[in-house]
Homo-oligomer: A and B are copies of this chain.
């Protein structure tokens, strides 16, 4: 029952309040106060839920969110003083599960935390895929190929991670493009061909007879792992 929750907020007072409230009902709480330390904590601790403030000293919480969505499906509750529509919509569309405006009721937040954990814990996508040759660690954002680490650019990793999150499933080009390049690039499929080409070269997959990154002509791609 005791879930791990990461709180990313730069205001110490808020962190303290959340820490006390969340610990009092049995959660393990860890904290971070910036985009960078937040990402680091995410990778290291792999929490079950993230409470994320938007106003951070070294960048926008939304950046953190879109970054983490490339390798994790952890539920995120965004916390913000901004009550405008556009921020809410942006956050939810990037991948947040909920959005709470400050000032907020602690009891309400706890209820929303419960709702997220209740609905999402059953989901058990393994964060590591491995077949002895290719090794993909979604939590650590690490890909190794026969013990040799593979260096991937952000786009390359995003494509591979998206495919990895639905392994064996065909992901359409449109899905990949809209999720990674943005909603306006739904038909720029040449980007994808280039990235997939690079990925195949880096993981040593023969394009004419791919073992891992299979092409579904006219549809999309699929990771066999």
Contact = CB atoms under 8 A, between A and B. Distances in A.
A114 B93 contact: yes
A219 B217 CA distance: 30
Contact of A97 (B119, B140, B218): B119
A169 B88 contact: no
B154 A169 contact: no
Contacts of A110: 89
A115 B118 CA distance: 17
Interface residues of A, number: 39
Contacts of A169: 139-141
Contact of A141 (B114, B118, B170): B170
Contacts of A170: 140-142
A105 interface: yes
A99 B77 CA distance: 13
Contact of A89 (B93, B108, B141): B108
Interface string A75-104: 000000000010011001101111100000
A170 B85 CA distance: 43
Interface of A: 85, 88-89, 92-93, 95-99, 105, 107-108, 110-112, 114-115, 118-120, 122-123, 139-142, 153-154, 157, 166, 168-170, 216-219, 222
B115 A96 contact: yes
Contacts of A222: 140-141
Contacts of A89: 107-108, 110-111
A122 B175 CA distance: 13
Contacts of A108: 85, 88-89
Contacts of A85: 105, 107-108
Contacts of A142: 168, 170
A89 B112 CA distance: 8
A92 B112 contact: yes
